[in-house]
Amino acid sequence: MRDELYESASQLFFLMGHPVRLRILDLLRRGEACVCHLQAALGLPQPYVSQQLRLLREAGLISSRREGLFIYYRLANQQVEELLGKVLGPVEETQPVPGCACPKCQRSFSADFLKEAVR
Amino acid sequence: MRDELYESASQLFFLMGHPVRLRILDLLRRGEACVCHLQAALGLPQPYVSQQLRLLREAGLISSRREGLFIYYRLANQQVEELLGKVLGPVEETQPVPGCACPKCQRSFSADFLKEAVR
DNA sequence: ATAATATATGCAGATTTTTGCATATAGAGC
DNA sequence: GCTCTATATGCAAAAATCTGCATATATTAT
């Protein structure tokens, strides 16, 4: 009974104990994101990102939602958010990522362009 | 700069993301313990326990103190205690471990024997 | 149906970690 | 000095993970 607790807890820590996966989780703290967004933000090949996402998804740390061609991932575990906060500090502000083609990023780029135009 | 944060944080999680190391840390939450104590509590060979202890020590999660022939280990990282609390819940009561020969365990056995005698 | 795009999956070589075991070290007591 | 006990270290085989790449799937648009 307590053995299972150790198993699940160490699996949780194991998944968070990888630089790339930890960064993915940290990015998702700021809100949902599509694969192309994570890919651009991390500067890593898409299949690689998808594989790490699969591990996190299968373990229930994140979940996904399809919208047309894009699949948006988000955190699905309260404990993960708390652990991230304890170790990485408060959530950092989202910064638009060049190189991501999803509607969300396009929108934030437009907003930026507007800001630039106002200056 | 933030990269280093990810590195150190994922190293911390990595070390905690192993069933045996996690159990060792959980045992040390209850107070310092010698190797023979951990060995008996986990039911694992002594060299194996010492190796995991070395990893935890080199990363600064635990520290040790020698007293004669015995070496007592204890948690040396506040963050680790908090993370353990969040995932494993409050500290469980220490239970004397048969098979451990250190003075501390002998003492707790004596206490138990007293309790038994009172019944 | 075909093409194009976003994402997922499968597989294999390279690298790490895990685990077990033999042996070394260090202190205590004789 | 020698012996005993507690702990540490070294090494290697086995197992797991990491990483990269080729390819498959699913959806949209033409």
Q: Give how far Cα A115 sits from Cα of A37, A41, A104, A106, B35, Å.
A: 22, 22, 17, 14, 62
Cβ within 8 Å, pair B11-A26: no
Min distance B87 CA to chain A CA atoms (Å):
6
The ranges assigned to domains in chain A are 2-93
Give the distance between the most distant pair of CA atoms in chain B. 62
Question: For residue B34, how far is the Cα from the chain centroid?
Answer: 8
B99: left (phi over 0), alpha (psi -120 to 50) or beta: left
CB of A71 lies under 7 Å from some atom of strand C:
yes
The pLDDT of B43-54, averaged and rounded, is 94
Tell me which residue of B76, B71, B73, B74 sits closest to B102, measured CA to CA. Answer: B71
Residue reference for tokens 């995932």: B87
Q: Cα torsion at A8, A11, A13, A15 (round to 10°)?
A: -140
The pLDDT score that the predictor gives to residue A102 is 76
DSSP A89: -
Q: Please give the CATH architecture assigned to the domain spanning B2-118.
A: Orthogonal Bundle (1.10)
Question: For residue A35, how far is the Cα from the chain centroid?
Answer: 9
Q: Give how far Cα A107 sits from Cα of A31, A43, A103, A111, Å.
A: 15, 21, 6, 6
The pLDDT score that the predictor gives to residue A116 is 40
Nucleotide nearest to A100 (CA to C1'): C6
Cβ within 8 Å, pair A9-B79: no
Nucleotide nearest to B100 (CA to C1'): D6
Among B5-19, B64-78, B84-98, where is mean pLDDT lowest?
B84-98
Q: Please give the CATH architecture assigned to the domain spanning A2-93.
A: Orthogonal Bundle (1.10)
Among A25-29, A73-77, A90-94, B110-114, where is mean pLDDT lowest?
B110-114
Which positions in chain B touch A83 (Cβ < 8 Å)?
A: 83, 86-87
Q: pLDDT (tens digit, 9 = 90+) per residue, A15-67?
A: 999 999 999 999 999 999 999 999 999 999 999 999 999 999 999 999 999 99
Of the CA atoms within 13 Å of residue B3, those in its CB half-sphere come to 2
Whole-number distance in Å between A43 CA and C14 C1': 22
Q: Which of A9, A19, A86 sits opposite B10 (nearest CB)?
A: A19
The pLDDT score that the predictor gives to residue A112 is 44
CB of A29 lies under 7 Å from some atom of strand D:
no
What number of other Cβ atoms are within 10 A of residue B83's Cβ?
Answer: 22
